[in-house]
Amino acid sequence: MTEVNPYKMAIKQIDVVAPYLDVDEGILEKLRYPRRELTVHCPVKMDDGSLKVFKGYRVTHNDTRGPAKGGLRYHPSVDLDEVKALAMWMTWKAAVVNIPYGGAKGGVKCNPPEMSQAELEKVTRRFTWEIAPLIGPESDILAPDVYTNPQVMAWIMDTYSMLKGYSVPGVVTGKPLELGGSVGRFEATGKGVLIAVQKVAEHLKLSIKGARVVVQGCGNVGGTSARYFSRAGARVIAISDSKGGLYNSQGLDIERTLDCKSRYKCLMTEKVEAEVISNKDLLELECDILVPAALGNQITAENAPRLKCRLVAEGANGPTEPEADEILVDKGIFVLPDILANAGGVTVSYFEWVQNLQELLWTEEDVSDRLHKIMTTAVADVMKISRERKVPMRTAAYILGVGRVAKATQLRGLYP
């Protein structure tokens, strides 16, 4: 079965909500395209002395409501259509949580687990230099995504600052705390997933305490979500990384599992009580809450009929293909869509940027309270639309997100 092209999938999602939006079709046509897409080639001298050229992209989908904002992904599967889709989803995500940003995304086609720190630093610095004309605290702000982290953000900030001649912390978020990063940013996406689930759990009469949770992915989003669910009293019965997963019907010792993962860079059955499970089987486990928090296109028309969960909370971007989405709706599975469920990350990125611009330092409590307020408001807004218009949560989130951007576009008008 061929994978759905993510950009086509993103366009299809606009088409699905078009009939619900009271906006001119011309405006929607504009929103189907990114404002800018830049492809660069980064030559890097590798540790063995050879020269390798890495292809990279930065796409600004939209900056109507504010500067473009979005992560930078390092992965072998990165291509332009994927980055275009991810940039568009950032636009809707920022609009759903009502923060004053547009959407952007970047990607470099490379495989970090096979690269040294020195090689990663060189790729990052050259890529930053190549995209420098587009980025800046007032135009386009980067952040971590798949296989990028606070250290990569520090290199981006340094390279950009050297080019400018002064320190510019606001060009990236998700920085180390020592460089103007915000408390609470690292855990924000995973924490946001839990907050969103808690908010809908009341409505679904689902108790988080004792709920069986399955998490696909063990990076920043998957790992942190698992940790927060476990702390909230849920039973995380399975978790995976790119190589496979661990399963224990009684619940995994999540702290120990994550500790081993960070120490040995892989999930290890010898260290925790669990059986090995494939990523494919993990998605089909019987559970209450399924959190796909790895890559896109994981829930497909092929495996969707076999899903046995009550709720899907999309920690990843684009994990559910449109055909699968319809199947989940038919099966009565409640889906918290990516542009809502994982919006905690960009929300705290916004807090970090605001602190950088004003040279302020907020406390953990400031960040946590504001994150809670923004996430619960967004979930309530989307649920209200879902109830009133009798549409699934994804459609409702798109009605809200695309609707806000369309309205802003209408107000600004066209230039020239």
Q: Which CA distances in Å does 39 have to 57, 59, 107, 177, 384?
A: 5, 9, 10, 31, 40
Point out the residue whose Cβ comes nearest to ligand GLU: 71
Site for ligand GLU contains 349 (CB under 6 A) = yes
Site for ligand GLU contains 295 (CB under 6 A) = no
* Encoded tokens for 66: 């504010």
143, 196, 200, 201: which one contacts ligand GLU (CB under 6 A)? 143
Contact 157, 132 (CB under 8 A): no
Count of positions on this chain that bind ligand GLU (CB under 6 A): 11
Least distance between ligand GLU and beta carbon 187 (Å): 13
Distance CA 56, CA 77 (A): 12
Site for ligand GLU contains 145 (CB under 6 A) = yes
Site for ligand GLU contains 342 (CB under 6 A) = yes
Site for ligand GLU contains 345 (CB under 6 A) = yes
Distance CA 190, CA 222 (A): 7
6, 34, 67, 71: which one contacts ligand GLU (CB under 6 A)? 71
Contact 345, 182 (CB under 8 A): no
62, 64, 91, 173: which one contacts ligand GLU (CB under 6 A)? 173
Site for ligand GLU contains 69 (CB under 6 A) = yes
Site for ligand GLU contains 317 (CB under 6 A) = yes
Q: Of 274 and 346, which CB lies nearer to ligand GLU in the complex structure?
A: 346
Element (H, E) at 108: strand 102-108
Least distance between ligand GLU and beta carbon 86 (Å): 7
Sheet holding 244-247, edge to edge: 275-277, 244-247, 235-241, 212-216, 289-292, 311-313, 334-336
Element (H, E) at 369: helix 364-389
Q: Of 110 and 237, which CB lies nearer to ligand GLU in the complex structure?
A: 110
Catalytic one of 84, 93, 105, 191: 105
Contact 104, 140 (CB under 8 A): yes
Name the H helices within 50-111. Answer: 80-96
Site for ligand GLU contains 346 (CB under 6 A) = yes
Q: Which runs of E-coded beta strand occur in 266-346?
A: 275-277, 289-292, 311-313, 334-336
Query: Is residue 105 annotated as a catalytic residue, yes or no?
Result: yes
Least distance between ligand GLU and beta carbon 14 (Å): 18
Q: Of 31 and 341, which CB lies nearer to ligand GLU in the complex structure?
A: 341
Residues contributing to the site for ligand GLU (CB under 6 A): 69-71, 143, 145, 173, 317, 342, 345-346, 349
Catalytic residues: 105
